[in-house]
Amino acid sequence: MILDHRPCQDKKNNMKIFIYSLYFLPHEFLVFFIFCDLEGSYQRSFIYFEIVYFRYSIWIDSKMRLQTDPMLILEYFLWRKKSEYAISNHYDRHCVWEEVDQNKRLNKYNHSAIDEQFQYYQSDGLVKFNESDSSAPLPSYVPEGSFIVRAHTPMSNLFSCLWFNEVDRFTSRDQLSFAYTFLKLRRMNPGKPFSLNMFKDCERRAMAKIFHHRVENTSSPGTSTIL
Ligand SMILES: *[C@@H]1O[C@H](CO)[C@@H](O)[C@H](O)[C@H]1NC(C)=O
Ligand SMILES: *[C@@H]1O[C@H](CO)[C@@H](O)[C@H](O)[C@H]1NC(C)=O
Ligand SMILES: *[C@@H]1O[C@H](CO)[C@@H](O)[C@H](O)[C@H]1NC(C)=O
């Protein structure tokens, strides 16, 4: 099924990128991105790359392997729900406050940089996630970004662009900036619908299996994706 395979390198972020594309409608591509940085640890910074000429994309990171037909994935996560952006919630954490604690506990990033980002978000209106509020703007404020399904609509492109701005301006911990970005997008575009499908982590597990990350094997770059 893989027709095209183009490894390229992003010097700024020291990442090696693999793009897998496949035709499924005339003039349209379905794309898989797998980004691996050269140190061997995976990076979810898919939002660095805005490839607008694709109609749909499925992002899976390098520790995962798709086990479902990509057409079924688009149908299940986007078309059936009439959504343009689908991402799963985190299996455990739903509040940015918890995510901040966890990032610090595991030393994922410079603590003062995390504090700076977090304080800015609070000053700009981010509040704790309230699980019992049925009118909450999202089912969770913490995503699991290893599997993202997108239709490349103007609003989904704008969301990705704003998310990238946060990752670029503050820390690269994209789980910290997701909810803020979403709320900011809604605030900036009150009249424009944006259909984001935040699904449950178990649904993601049914579609893509997580494999333990291994050091990228350059002699066989295609091994991490098998359709
Ligand atoms: C941590 O972040 C702060 C604030 O952004 C910065 O001033 C400091 O140099 C950083 N420390 C390290 C070790 O990178
Ligand atoms: C959470 O939402 C519920 C239902 O809307 C509300 O009664 C409660 O006060 C909220 N809790 C906080 C801490 O805002
Ligand atoms: C990398 O892939 C090649 C070809 O499949 C294999 O022979 C080799 O053992 C692999 N190396 C590592 C370090 O996994």
Between the CA of 151 and the centroid of ligand 1 the distance, in Å, is: 37
| Total of domains in the chain | 1
Q: What is the mean pLDDT of residues 112-134?
A: 96
Residue 28: per-residue pLDDT: 45
What is residue 84's three-state secondary structure? coil
Q: How confident is the model at residue 166 (pLDDT cuts 50, 70, 90)?
A: confident
In this model, does residue 7 exceed pLDDT 60?
no
Question: Pairing between strand 85-89 and 196-199?
Answer: parallel
Between the CA of 133 and the centroid of ligand 2 the distance, in Å, is: 6
Nearest CA to ligand 2 atom 2: 133
- Return the higher-pLDDT residue of 114 and 46: 114
Ligand 2 neighbours, Cβ below 6 Å, are 130, 132-133
d(CA 194, CA 132): 23
Residue 140: per-residue pLDDT: 96
What is residue 42's three-state secondary structure? strand
- Return the higher-pLDDT residue of 219 and 78: 78
Tokens of 116: 């700076």
Domain ranges, residue 40: 2-128+136-226
Residue 61: per-residue pLDDT: 66
Region of 36 (left: φ > 0; alpha: ψ -120 to 50; beta: rest) is beta
Q: What is the mean pLDDT of residues 150-155?
A: 86
Tokens of 183: 């709320």
**Report for 61-65, 180-184, 213-217: range of highest mean pLDDT:** 180-184
Between the CA of 58 and the centroid of ligand 3 the distance, in Å, is: 27
